[in-house]
Structure 1
Amino acid sequence: MNFDFVTFNQGVVEEFRKSGGQLKQNGYPLILVTVKGAKTGQPRIYPLMSVPYGEHYLAVASKGGDPKHPLWYHNMLANPDVTVEVGAETYPARARLLSGEERERAFAHAVTIYPPYAEYQEKTTREIPVFVLERQQ
């Protein structure tokens, strides 16, 4: 039986909003990122680990160390203009895929915030992508 991520995520989104953005998963805070679907153009809301990075946030496409990227990765590449919900605040952001040393620094930082990312990287042969979600005015 396959796990239904859509239904699970909908429940997390509802709980996040009911809690005023204070919902935690396994003790770690979350953010919500809304991105347009790459094929449909329809808005999709994804709960992600909250990884503050200066005045921005990181979106780490770990998918728990799965061999494939999460769906939101493809959506973000196609449609980098996103909406971020942190706590009770909502703002527009632009997702920028990091590479090279910049990606390495950001991933190392993400591991200090959410240590399981290191285990996820060990589980997969793909380099886990990292986006910085840059706040837009």
Structure 2
Amino acid sequence: MTPPGDEEVLDNPTAWVAKHIRTYIETDGRKGHLYNGMTTLLLSTRGRRSGLLRRTALIYGQDGDRYLLVASNGGSANHPAWYLNLSDDPGVEIQVGPDKFAARARTATAEEKPELWRKMAEIFPTYDSYQAKAGREIPLVIIERV
């Protein structure tokens, strides 16, 4: 992904998520990084159909210097748009607190996923119930700084 620079970034259209993103941006992560007791980051992906930059806020975990995301979409039967976007173009931008950087995203392998899923379910236990109702294998995403 080309670094955004002055390029417009479209924020998640869900009102409460958009508000969270605005707070995160306006305070350079001082507010918003911790959300309801969980750490969150801002993920920017390139829209697979539009080509536009899209940004959302997501709960994350860590495995060493890698960031972990769960593409749960609230337990929906469909993958979230951000996951489809990074599957098409794994070059992403993230902001963790005040730290902004380019990264690459990939889906955890079947061998990696169980251990990493446990880490994420400890942070947000609802992921297990989302998996039970989704009717699809919920992907776990690994993000590494480039």
TM-score normalised by structure 1 residue count: 0.89
Counterpart among 6, 18, 23 of residue 15 in structure 1: 23
2:108 maps to 1:131? no
RMSD: 1.4
- The Cα shift of 1:7 comes to 4.3
CA–CA distance in structure 1, aligned partners of residues 75 and 50 of structure 2 = 26
- Aligned equivalent of 1:58: 68
- Aligned equivalent of 1:116: 126
CA–CA distance in structure 2, aligned partners of residues 97 and 52 of structure 1 = 15
Q: Give the total of aligned pairs.
A: 132
SS at match of 1:101: coil
TM-score normalised by structure 2 residue count: 0.84
CA–CA distance in structure 1, aligned partners of residues 117 and 137 of structure 2 = 10
Show structure 1 runs of 5+ residues with no match: none
Alpha carbons 2:92, 2:104 under 8 Å: kept: yes
- Aligned equivalent of 1:6: 13
Show structure 2 runs of 5+ residues with no match: 1-11
What is the aligned-residue identity percentage?
33
CA–CA distance in structure 2, aligned partners of residues 53 and 20 of structure 1 = 24
CA–CA distance in structure 2, aligned partners of residues 17 and 73 of structure 1 = 22
Question: Which structure has more helix as a fraction of its residues?
Answer: 1
